[in-house]
Amino acid sequence: MTEPILKKARGDGVDIQTAIWEGSGNTLLCIHGLTANCRCWDTIAATMAPRHRVIAMDLRGRGLSESPPAGYSIDQHCRDIVCLMDDLGLEKVVPVGHSLGAFIALTLGARHLERIDRMILVDGGGKLSKEQMALVFAGIKPALDRLGKVFPSFEANIDLLKQAPFLQPWTPVLETYFRYEVEAVDGGVRSRVHPDHIAEESLHLKALDVAEYYPHVACPVLILRATEGMLAKDDILLPVDAVERMIRAIPDANCVDVEGTNHYSIIFHPNAARDGVMLDFIDPFA
């Protein structure tokens, strides 16, 4: 697998880390989920590049981006992205957002449509009920619980993760992803992601009515939906009713179920069907 070029770009007052896989077609700007980082896109980037250019970013407070004490909201991430695009000389991009990244992409598309060519939402962006949101946060609890904890070694840090059913099978991509996110501290290693930042982000996310943005996203939108739960059958981020609301309200949207995938495997694991749909959507005239 080709290693990306790691390059800093300037966000809205903070340095944003990017991973770049060069290519000759459209520019995909990949936006990760709540506690993730840019290396979650390694598998998809391996298929998209070099046919297309792939730029994956670390949101502020994640990965190797700067981590200010506050400012963790979708509005702020959109400001960071516009500044990052200006800094990198990107007139238009194809946002590819996973989970929280899908909400950011929708907000960006509603507010800065002139900078968006088309958009891909990967298992995210649906308006969920309070009950469904609670199920989702229960499903991602293992990812949240490790934040702030010091583990004696990297191996100890990932021991439980290696046994998680939603991450099977364990792959070198997952190893790279989790190794990228940790830092050495007294007593061992710890995730670079601060629990307080995620708590602030979560409060803003739960207060967001993303459906308000749907009618204003006038570019073509591809929704990729994972069909399996994480820890239970019903802890999915895009229930069928949520997708139906998106299709009705977004002017030019289509959904494809990526069968047999969960919220994590839909991006981490190789999937020829997913990649084929994405490539056809990004360049429909190829």
Q: Where are the domains of the chain?
A: 5-144+209-282
pLDDT of residue 1: 67
Contact 2, 20 (CB under 8 A): no
Helix/strand/coil (H/E/C) assignment for every residue in 16-47: EEEEEECCCCCEEEEECCCCCCHHHHHHHHHH
pLDDT of residue 114: 96
* Domain boundaries 5-144+209-282, CATH class: alpha beta
Contact 136, 235 (CB under 8 A): yes
pLDDT of residue 96: 98
β-strand partners of 223:
121, 255
Residue 73 pLDDT exceeds 90: yes
Where residue 192 falls among pLDDT bands split at 50, 70, 90?
A: very high
Contact 16, 57 (CB under 8 A): yes
Residue among 242, 255, 239 nearest 211 (CA): 242
Where residue 286 falls among pLDDT bands split at 50, 70, 90?
A: low
Helices and strands per DSSP (H, E), number in the chain: 11, 10
Q: How far is CA 86 from CA 4, 179, 195, 245, in A?
A: 21, 30, 30, 33
Where residue 206 falls among pLDDT bands split at 50, 70, 90?
A: confident
Query: Which residues are CB-contacts of 15 (< 8 A; sequence separation ≥ 6)?
Result: 8, 9, 65, 66
Segment 108-118, tens digit of pLDDT: 999 999 999 99
Instruction: Write phi, then psi, for 182 (nearest 5 degrees).
Output: -100, 155
Q: What are 16's two structure tokens?
A: 């944003």
Segment 12-65, tens digit of pLDDT: 999 999 999 999 999 999 999 999 999 999 999 999 999 999 999 999 999 999
